[in-house]
Amino acid sequence: MRALLRAGSSTALLLAMMVLASLVLWVGVPVGCLYIASQVQVATDSLGLALLVGAGWVAASIALIVWLLGWLSRLHVEAQAARGRESHGQVALEAIMAISAGIALVAFVIWFLFLSGSSPIPITNPE
């Protein structure tokens, strides 16, 4: 934490923006895709069109967010270098992506097992 404070508020802000963008990548894109595809399916009554729109949404969103994350990471590396700190390349982005993916996976498992209302193992009544 002390190293983060010495790095300056601009690098801390860049790290926070990378965390937010990575969470949007893992949570916002799938939820947005499901919402948009469901609206298309309701409006057109075409599952094929809904899948096509959903796939296009996912591809465009991921491309945009990956570009944004790369840009933020480059800004972070440049800010670190401007402060005279040793550059370790894309380590901050890699760590943020790994941690956020783990958090998203744990959140999905908790939702699926306990909150979704479905059972991961089909249970049949013996009647």
Q: What is the pLDDT of residues 20-68, one digit of tens each?
A: 999 899 989 999 999 999 999 999 999 999 999 999 999 999 999 999 9
In the prediction, which pLDDT does 1 show?
46
- Mean local confidence (pLDDT), 105-124: 78
For residue 77, CA distances in Å to 1, 23, 54, 89, 96 come to 18, 21, 34, 7, 14
Which residue has better confidence, 27 or 126? 27
Burial of 10 (0-12, 13-18, 19+ CB in 10 A): middle
Per-residue pLDDT tens for 84-96? 777 677 788 899 9
pTM of the full predicted structure? 0.73
pLDDT band, very low/low/confident/very high, at 5 (cuts 50, 70, 90): very low
Tokens of 29: 């894109």
Would you say 37 and 48 are in contact if contact means Cβ atoms under 8 Å apart? no
Tokens of 21: 């963008």
Helix %, strand %, coil % of the chain (to 5):
80, 0, 20
